[in-house]
Structure 1
Amino acid sequence: MPPGFPIFPLKQMAYDANMLRVPTVRWLGVFHSDLDKYHFPDRCLLKMTSHDKERAKAMLLRCYLSKEAPQWRKELEVMVQKGMKFEIEALSSNSLSFLSEYIPEKIHEGSCI
């Protein structure tokens, strides 16, 4: 699971929800849909650990993920279904300059969710 996913507020913090809410937050990361588009080698995929899967499934139970971040939910569901994740650092295995091209391209295309 992407390390930033658990940043979403917990139920225990619901009383602070208005102060914690960032409706314009975007996920600029590697999505499973990028696998074909960028022809990433399989070595960029990492097997999800049991801890990753537990955390991801717990995230999927959060109702606000469906209402406020449906694209995030979809990517998380695909990740759990495939049992694989990406870590953006793994993309430098293509070339040392790949990330310096990939990230600006994703921003330019609006490929953040």
Structure 2
Amino acid sequence: MPRRPDRISPGQLAALRLSASGYTSREIARRLKTTEAGIHVRLTAATHTLGARSRTHAVAIALCTGLLRLDEVEMGREAAQAPVSRPEPPPGSASRSAAPRSRQAPAQPIRDERTAA
């Protein structure tokens, strides 16, 4: 289904925003003063309207298309206090980690199911 961000209702957008903030359907329902079933309907409709495969994908599409902005997404207390890890530099770069190679997890290639034979 094609992405139609202009067809997202305010209620669907509010539910997506809270989902992006890490709230469960039950918590979203409490905050929006509606039922959990109503939240499932809103999020399912938003997911289909955006052509997404999951709620997470719908949130990503909403962020990429500008329906949601990062400054609208709440960070929980745990996320705000969590240490930020730095990505490993590419192999062969001058600023390599001092950690022994045996302690680093090997990189796994990403497999695209659509193009795999």
Which of the five TM-score ranges fits, normalised by the shorter chain?
under 0.3
TM-score by length of 1: 0.25
Q: Which has the higher helix share?
A: 1
Whose Rg is larger? 2
